[in-house]
């Protein structure tokens, strides 16, 4: 990806006149705020003899020290990450980028890092939005980005058990293309799908837009191979086990702080023969969320289920299209069906949604949503170009607490950012017991947008915890969420994480400063 933007810049589009007018009305007059053309990276501090040692381990062509590669492996893609890069600050650039070719290479690399006290940062797609790639540097001989992009094999395709072994460097589209050769799919489509990796999905407990039908990524994982400073951890010998606590769950969501994932065995499904997406409208966010709860608690979930609140519907981000048809003041719901025979489930869901007050808007809006489902980050770039700060935050809670968390976050954002701001929300991950709330915020930048967002994020995060939500449903902890993780899991939970870190990585070379409060 581009060092100061999301994805491929050629896919970006200019703001439409209507969108710019809406932004001017809602947050104030826009102004051009271009990014620095060529961002300098600091001089590498890694000693020549250490670079030679790395080349001896992996081969010279797989140890990269040029500015371009270091620039592309600096931080992730949160708005604070992009603001720093756009302002010319790449002070977190790794001192080198290495590209191991397999598990043995990763083992050797970790041993070398322990011996010479080098910080290692596992790197998949670089899509982190919580500071998961900006590590502590103090006291280390250097920081090395471990790019897993050479590790892309698909192995052990077991169509009887419906499991496949995937290496961590596979990007989302690559994994789906290789699985399709066997008539299979993961069905995991987060908004970062085009760039994020299998290893990253596992290390952050990723959740995709089709989670209603396929589940979260961690629910797909049946086995893991992990290289740690204490040796290799092989996990998952059966579909279920009572052999003590499930250590797979310790690795899932660990963000490379306990070890580097080198293979993931996942549950797969047959490629769907049919895919249909349609739109519905409900009178209010409450009515729509009640309908989602009914589907979840009555075994009626479609493959995709997404509900935009009134503001997100009004701005027309529900389907990323210019197609009309919303009921005035209502909320748009996107409903998708994928499978071999979707007719029966579609009839059941249609009857349920109609009975709960929903009005069908047809397939055109649903198809438009599917076509544009990965485009929103490009809109963020366009808004940053005109001085509009855009960022997201997300949480999850039980159904009975949904309105409380929703209002708490909205109130905190209004208090901190004022009336001239846009705060949108949608629900796109649902369970029998609750749902995830995903907020998008837009506000005119101040002279110090970093501080502006840091203050708003702090207040909103505290509001989430105080209201009884989780600090993150699928964005992970990174460095940004550590203070609230400590509150969420308490002192005993924090001590457990620290103990695991000390046992597996006693010298602290793996992603130092990430995850552990």
Q: Which residue has the tokens 């899509």?
A: 127
Please provide the DSSP assignment of 246-263 as one string: -THHHHTT-TTSS-EEEE
Question: Does 110 map to a domain?
Answer: yes
In a shared domain, residues 324 and 246: no
Inter-residue contact 44 to 415 (CB < 8 Å):
no
H-type alpha helices, 102-171 = 103-116
Whether the predicted model's global pTM rises above the 0.75 cut: yes
Question: Does 278 map to a domain?
Answer: yes
What pLDDT, on the 0 to 100 scale, is given for residue 326? 45
Domain encompassing residue 120: 40-147
In a shared domain, residues 164 and 254: yes
Inter-residue contact 275 to 366 (CB < 8 Å):
no
Question: Does 361 map to a domain?
Answer: yes
Question: What span, in angstroms and rounded, lies between the C-alpha atoms of 156 and 318?
Answer: 39
Question: Which of 101, 123, 147 is a domain's end point?
Answer: 147
Question: What span, in angstroms and rounded, lies between the C-alpha atoms of 461 and 392?
Answer: 12
* β-sheet bridge partners, residue 225: 234, 263
Question: Does 287 map to a domain?
Answer: yes
What CA–CA distances, in Å, run from 303 to 189, 278, 319, 445, 471? 11, 12, 16, 38, 26
CA atoms within 13 A on the CB side of 374: 18
Q: Which residue has the tokens 């907020």?
A: 439
What CA–CA distances, in Å, run from 251 to 101, 246, 290, 440, 443? 21, 10, 34, 29, 37
Give 33's contacts (C-beta < 8 A, 6+ positions apart): 86, 384, 385, 386, 387, 445
CA atoms within 13 A on the CB side of 468: 12
Residue 26: alpha-carbon gap to chain centroid:
28
Question: Does 89 map to a domain?
Answer: yes
In a shared domain, residues 199 and 143: no
Question: Which of 117, 147, 177 is a domain's end point?
Answer: 147
Rounded to 5°, angle at Cα 173 from 170 and 174? 40
For β-strands 143-147 and 96-98, DSSP reports them as: parallel
Inter-residue contact 464 to 407 (CB < 8 Å):
no
Inter-residue contact 62 to 99 (CB < 8 Å):
yes
Question: Does 498 map to a domain?
Answer: no
In a shared domain, residues 257 and 280: no
Question: Does 393 map to a domain?
Answer: no
Nearest to 389 by CA among 82, 76, 10, 8: 82
Question: Which of 106, 130, 147 is a domain's end point?
Answer: 147
Domain CATH number, residue 86: 3.30.43.10
Rounded to 5°, angle at Cα 429 from 426 and 430? 110
In a shared domain, residues 226 and 313: no
In a shared domain, residues 325 and 345: yes
In a shared domain, residues 234 and 250: yes
Nearest to 167 by CA among 193, 147, 188: 147
What pLDDT, on the 0 to 100 scale, is given for residue 329? 64
167: which 2 tokens?
């290496």
In a shared domain, residues 160 and 260: yes
Inter-residue contact 96 to 46 (CB < 8 Å):
yes
Question: What span, in angstroms and rounded, lies between the C-alpha atoms of 82 and 496?
Answer: 33
In a shared domain, residues 361 and 256: no
In a shared domain, residues 140 and 167: no
Question: What span, in angstroms and rounded, lies between the C-alpha atoms of 432 and 475?
Answer: 21
What CA–CA distances, in Å, run from 167 to 108, 153, 182, 358, 436? 18, 5, 17, 43, 29
In a shared domain, residues 116 and 136: yes
Domain CATH number, residue 211: 3.30.465.10
Inter-residue contact 185 to 270 (CB < 8 Å):
yes
Question: Does 482 map to a domain?
Answer: no
In a shared domain, residues 138 and 171: no
Domain CATH number, residue 327: 3.30.70.3450
Q: For every one of its 517 residues, what pLDDT tens digit does the chain have, with 9 covering 90 and above?
A: 888 999 988 888 888 888 888 888 889 888 889 998 888 899 999 999 999 999 999 999 999 999 999 999 999 999 999 999 999 999 999 999 999 999 999 999 999 999 999 999 999 999 999 999 999 999 999 999 999 999 999 999 999 999 999 999 999 999 999 999 999 999 999 999 999 999 999 999 999 999 999 999 999 999 999 999 999 999 999 999 999 999 999 999 999 999 999 999 999 999 999 999 999 999 999 999 999 999 999 999 999 999 999 999 988 754 444 444 444 569 999 999 999 999 999 999 999 999 999 999 999 999 999 999 999 899 999 999 999 999 999 999 999 999 999 999 999 999 999 999 999 999 999 999 999 999 999 999 999 999 999 999 999 999 999 999 999 999 999 999 999 999 999 999 999 999 999 999 999 999 999 999 9
Nearest to 117 by CA among 45, 173, 25, 55: 45
Q: How many domains does the chain have?
A: 3
Rounded to 5°, angle at Cα 96 from 91 and 100? 140
């Amino acid at each position: 990806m581009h060092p100061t933007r999301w994805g491929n810049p050629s896919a970006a589009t200019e703001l439409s006149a209507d969108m710019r007018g809406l932004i001017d009305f809602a947050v104030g007059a826009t102004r051009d705020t271009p990014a620095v053309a060529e961002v300098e990276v600091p001089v590498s501090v890694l000693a020549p003899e250490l670079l030679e040692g790395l080349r001896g381990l992996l081969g010279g062509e797989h140890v990269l020290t040029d500015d371009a590669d270091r620039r592309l492996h600096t931080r992730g893609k949160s708005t604070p990450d992009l603001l720093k890069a756009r302002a010319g600050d790449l002070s977190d650039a790794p001192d080198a980028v290495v590209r191991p070719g397999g598990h043995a290479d990763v083992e050797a690399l970790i041993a070398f890092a322990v011996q010479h006290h080098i910080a290692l940062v596992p790197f998949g797609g670089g899509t982190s939005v919580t500071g998961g790639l900006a590590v502590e540097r103090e006291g280390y001989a250097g920081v090395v980005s471990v790019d897993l992009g050479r590790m892309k094999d698909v192995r052990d395709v077991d169509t009887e058990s419906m499991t496949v072994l995937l290496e961590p460097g596979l990007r989302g589209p690559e994994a789906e293309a290789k699985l399709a050769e066997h008539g299979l799919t993961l069905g995991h489509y987060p908004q970062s799908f085009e760039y994020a990796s299998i290893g990253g999905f596992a290390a952050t407990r990723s959740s995709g837009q089709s989670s209603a039908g396929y589940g979260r990524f961690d629910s797909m994982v049946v086995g893991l191979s992990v290289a740690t400073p204490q040796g290799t951890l092989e996990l998952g010998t059966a579909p279920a086990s009572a052999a003590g606590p499930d250590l797979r769950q310790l690795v899932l969501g660990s963000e490379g702080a306990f070890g580097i994932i080198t293979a993931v065995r996942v549950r797969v499904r047959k490629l769907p023969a049919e895919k249909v997406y349609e739109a519905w409208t409900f009178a209010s966010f409450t009515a729509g969320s009640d309908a989602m709860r009914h589907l979840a608690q009555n075994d009626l979930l479609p493959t995709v289920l997404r509900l935009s609140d009134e503001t997100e519907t009004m701005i027309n981000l529900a389907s990323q299209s210019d197609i009309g048809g919303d009921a005035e003041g209502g909320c748009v719901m996107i409903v998708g069906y994928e499978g071999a025979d979707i007719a029966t489930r579609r009839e059941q869901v249609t009857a349920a949604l109609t009975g709960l007050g929903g009005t069908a808007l047809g397939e055109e809006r649903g198809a438009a949503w599917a076509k544009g489902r990965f485009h929103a980050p490009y809109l963020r770039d366009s808004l940053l170009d005109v001085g509009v700060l855009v960022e997201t935050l997300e949480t999850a809670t039980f159904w009975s607490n949904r309105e409380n968390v929703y209002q708490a976050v909205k109130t905190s954002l209004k208090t901190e950012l004022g009336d001239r701001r846009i705060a949108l929300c949608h629900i796109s991950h649902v369970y029998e017991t609750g749902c995830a709330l995903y907020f998008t915020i837009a506000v005119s930048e101040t002279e110090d947008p970093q501080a502006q967002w840091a203050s708003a994020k702090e207040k909103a995060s505290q509001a989430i915890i105080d209201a009884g939500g989780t600090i993150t449903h699928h964005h992970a902890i990174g460095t940004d969420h550590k203070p609230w993780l400590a509150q969420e899991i308490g002192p005993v939970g924090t001590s457990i994480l620290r103990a695991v870190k000390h046992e597996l990585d006693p010298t602290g070379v793996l992603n130092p400063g990430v995850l552990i409060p």
